[in-house]
Structure 1
Amino acid sequence: MEKFKIELKWAIIFSIGLLIWMYFEKTMGWHDEKVKFQPIYTMLFGIISILIYVLALQNKKKTYYNNKIDWKQGFLSGAILSLLVAIFTPVVLYITFEYISPDYFTNIINYKIKNSKMTLEDAEKYFSLSNYMYTNTFSTLSNGIVISAIISYFIKSKTN
């Protein structure tokens, strides 16, 4: 595990950042009266997540690889980071929807029933903690791997 200490550190930073973002969304009203904007504005966290991945991979390059990293090493580091973030995702979502924003699912379900053609049954199935945990865990993993591949290309050491 010593080999992946940097990835663990950044996975924790990512998770704390996501919790702070969720609190920000809640305070902005995107989980309550402005819930219709939440799907759009939540994508802004994508910029923050990319920044965290860049910082994490640069940290790995500088600290672990002495400023000499190839694409494969960067990608592996990013993939491990993605896996760790995915493992932490259910915990982050549980904290978010049990403590930070316990009314979110009720609010989004009511909005979707009122403003779209979604039935109560479909809305309750889609907007549930278990479904969010499942879909977000796998999207976090897959998005993280793609982001890692791209960032690794740009941070790899130049060869002569």
Structure 2
Amino acid sequence: MKNCRLELKWAVIYTFFLLVWMVFERLMGWHDVHIAKHHLYTLLIYLPTALAYYLALSDKRNNFYGGIISFKQAFICGLVLTIFIAILAIPAQYIISTYITPQYFENVIAYAVQSGKATPEEAASFFNLQSYMVQAVAGSLAFGLVLSALISFIVRRK
């Protein structure tokens, strides 16, 4: 566990950032008034997510490996970070859905049905806490894998 301290630190930092980002989304009206564009606006989180991975892998390179890190070492660090983020995604999604934006599911279900994108049953089965927890973990793992590979290529040093 001592070897994974930096990854855990950055996973906690990222999760805290995610919670702040969700407050920002709610305040911007992306969870109610502007919900029709939420699927586009929420993609903006990928930019600071990439930055968080870059900072985490750079931190590992500079403060654990003494400024030299191979692609493989950085990639493994990224995978460990991704696993921690995926684990923290479950309580984070609970906090988001329960405390930060409790009306989100109600609003997005209403929007999906009113816009003809889904039946009430389809919308209710997709837009709920359990579904979003699964999506948060799966999305964290998939995107984290890709980011780990890309950022590892950038931070490697011989």
Q: TM-score, normalised by structure 2?
A: 0.98
Q: Which one-letter code corresponds to 1:120 in the other structure? A: P
4+ runs deviating over 2 angstroms: none
Cα distance, 1:99 vs structure 2: 0.3
2:75 maps to amino acid: F
Specify every segment of 5 or more residues in structure 2 that has no aligned partner in the other structure, as ranges: none
Any gaps of 5 or more consecutive residues in structure 1? none
| Percentage of matched positions with identical amino acids | 39
In structure 2, the partner of 1:78 is 78
- What letter matches 1:43 in structure 2? L
Match of 1:146, as an amino acid? V
Name the CA distance, whole Å, in 2 between partners of 1:140 and 1:116: 29
CA distance in 2, matches of 1:13, 1:154: 21
> Cα RMSD between the aligned structures?
0.7
Residue 142 of structure 1 deviates from its aligned partner by 1.4
Aligned residues: 158
Aligned to 1:27: 27
Q: Which amino acid aligns with 1:90?
A: I
Within 5 Å, give how 1:42-121 maps onto structure 2: 42-121=42-121
Shift of 1:145: 1.2
1:34 shift after superposition: 1.1
- In the TM superposition, residue 117 of structure 1 has moved relative to its aligned partner by 3.7
Within-5 A mapping of 1:134-149: 134-149=134-149
Task: Tell me which amino acid in the other structure corresponds to 1:134.
Answer: V
Q: Distance in 1 between matches of 2:95 and 2:14?
A: 15
